[in-house]
């Protein structure tokens, strides 16, 4: 439940974090203190109504709840260390990044020992969904902490799910993306086979969408990107997809499982990155799958 006294902090105002912070400002009815290392990103948040802080410590000194939207667990751990060193600390940190599960749980334990609650709440869906406040947010944390933070998360997402204890939100997010990447590869193969047999990709996917092969990925990644051969930059690039797929494979390894489809998918995305598509929207992997781009790379083990 929202407290009338809550001051919110937001650290990380990038492609996703910027619009997420903007939605908090529009809908939460709370003061938001924001920080980013990129001046242009910080200035945009200020234009939306955020009060800018010169650093992490200054956010921590003012905010009761701090939201993080950062590239990886490395930055999350670094920012949390800076928060711990601040003269005044928030009572709750919400990590909306996609992070390693084991390290997330270890960080939560360390913060708990210092009197700071921790919730993992990674986001899924597109940049436009972030702008529209329609993100999918999977949350890991205690029921009490979820109840406290859920009203703010609903300012940013249309689907806010409590998945279990700390780390559970990361598990759901990582495996959500893992399935997306594998489905993109499967659709790429289907499109390739269809084209070779004389059917255009858009017609094929339109017909498949009316049968049992239909899916969110088919209607979005498939129809809007794969079929149109449109793979813009700054739209969930290949490097981000590789990172998330690696997190799923790391989780599998920790459990003693060796997934084959996921390993192949990861391999193809790495090849696409090395072929020059590192910053392109990740469905660009089809260019390697259908043979248009020859990488001449040695077989990966």
Give the CATH number of the domain where residue 230 resides. 1.10.1040.10
**Same-domain check for residues 142 and 242:** no
pLDDT at 296: 64
In a shared domain, residues 20 and 147? yes
pLDDT of residue 127: 86
pLDDT (0 to 100) of residue 10 = 98
pLDDT tens for each residue of 8-19? 999 999 989 999
- Radius of gyration from C-alpha coordinates of the chain: 20
In a shared domain, residues 23 and 152: yes
- Same domain for 90 and 188, yes or no, is no
For the record, the structure tokens of 153 come out as: 């998360």
pLDDT of residue 300: 47
> Same structural domain for residues 161 and 184?
no
Biggest distance spanned by C-alpha atoms of the chain: 67
Angle between helices 101-113 and 73-84 (to 10 degrees): 10
Question: What pLDDT is attached to residue 301?
Answer: 40
Indicate the average pLDDT of the chain: 95
Residue 175, Cβ density class (10 Å: 0-12 exposed, 13-18 middle, ≥19 buried): middle
204, 262: one domain = yes
Q: Is 31 a catalytic residue?
A: no
Query: 82-115 as b/e, with b when 16 or more CB fall inside 10 Å?
Result: ebeebeebbebbbbbbbbbbebbbebbeebeeee
Q: Which of 121, 137, 165 is the last residue of a domain?
A: 165
Q: Does one domain contain both 140 and 251? A: no
Q: pLDDT value at position 126?
A: 84
Enclosing domain of residue 135: 8-165
Q: Is the pLDDT of residue 4 over 80?
A: no
**Judgement on whether residues 144 and 116 belong to the same structural domain of the protein:** yes
Among the candidates 165, 185, 212, a domain finishes at 165
The shares of helix, strand and coil residues in the chain, as percent rounded to the nearest 5, are 55, 15, 35
Angle at 248 between CA 212 and CA 169, to 5 degrees: 85
Residues 91, 106: Cα–Cα separation, whole Å: 18
Together in a domain, 24 and 119: yes
pLDDT at 210 over 70: yes
Given 26, 173, 203, 234, the catalytic residue: 173
Final residue before a domain boundary, out of 118, 141, 165: 165
With pLDDT > 90 as the criterion, what percentage of the chain qualifies? Answer: 93
Task: Please answer whether residues 167 and 101 qualify as being in contact, where contact means their C-beta atoms are separated by less than 8 angstroms.
Answer: yes
Question: Residue 64's domain is classified under what CATH number?
Answer: 3.40.50.720
Q: Are residues 62 and 153 in the same domain?
A: yes
State the pLDDT confidence band at 114, using cuts at 50, 70 and 90: very high
Res 94: pLDDT:
98
| Residues listed for the chain | 301
User: Measured between alpha carbons, how far is 278 from 285 in angstroms, rounded to an integer?
Assistant: 10
Are the CB atoms for 149 and 142 separated by under 8 Å? Answer: no
Q: What is the pLDDT of residues 34-85, one digit of tens each?
A: 999 999 999 999 999 999 999 999 999 999 999 999 999 999 999 999 999 9
Average pLDDT for 138-166: 98
| Measured CA angle at 165 (ends 160, 170), to 5 deg | 60
Give how far the C-alpha of residue 29 lies from the chain's centroid of Cα atoms, to the nearest Å: 25
Number of domain units in the chain: 2
């Amino acid at each position: 439940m929202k407290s009338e006294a809550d001051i919110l902090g937001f650290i990380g105002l990038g492609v996703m974090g910027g619009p997420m912070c903007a939605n908090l400002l529009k809908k939460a009815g709370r003061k938001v203190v924001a920080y980013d290392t990129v001046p242009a990103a910080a200035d945009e948040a200020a234009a939306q109504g955020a009060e800018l802080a010169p650093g992490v410590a200054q956010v921590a000194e003012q905010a009761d709840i701090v939201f993080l939207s950062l590239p990886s667990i490395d930055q999350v751990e670094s920012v949390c260390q800076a928060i711990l060193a601040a003269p005044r600390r928030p009572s709750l940190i919400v990590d909306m990044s996609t992070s390693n599960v084991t390290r997330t749980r270890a960080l939560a334990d360390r913060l708990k020992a210092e009197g700071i609650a921790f919730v993992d709440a990674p986001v899924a869906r597109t940049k436009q969904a972030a702008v529209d406040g329609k993100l999918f947010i999977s949350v890991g944390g205690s029921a009490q902490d979820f109840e406290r933070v859920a009203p703010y998360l609903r300012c940013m997402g249309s689907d806010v799910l409590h998945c279990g204890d700390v780390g559970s939100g990361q598990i759901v997010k990582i495996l959500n993306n893992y399935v997306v990447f594998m489905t993109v590869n499967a659709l790429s193969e289907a499109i390739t086979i269809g084209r070779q047999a004389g059917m255009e990709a858009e017609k094929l996917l339109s017909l498949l969408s009316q049968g049992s092969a239909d899916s969110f990925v088919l209607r979005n990644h498939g129809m809007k990107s794969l079929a149109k051969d449109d793979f813009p930059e700054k739209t969930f690039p290949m490097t981000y997809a590789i990172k998330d797929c690696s997190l799923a494979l790391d989780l599998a390894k920790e459990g003693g499982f060796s997934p084959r489809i996921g390993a192949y998918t990861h391999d193809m995305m790495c090849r696409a990155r090395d072929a020059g598509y590192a910053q392109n929207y990740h469905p660009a992997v089809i260019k390697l799958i259908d043979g248009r781009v020859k990488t001449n790379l040695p077989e990966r083990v």
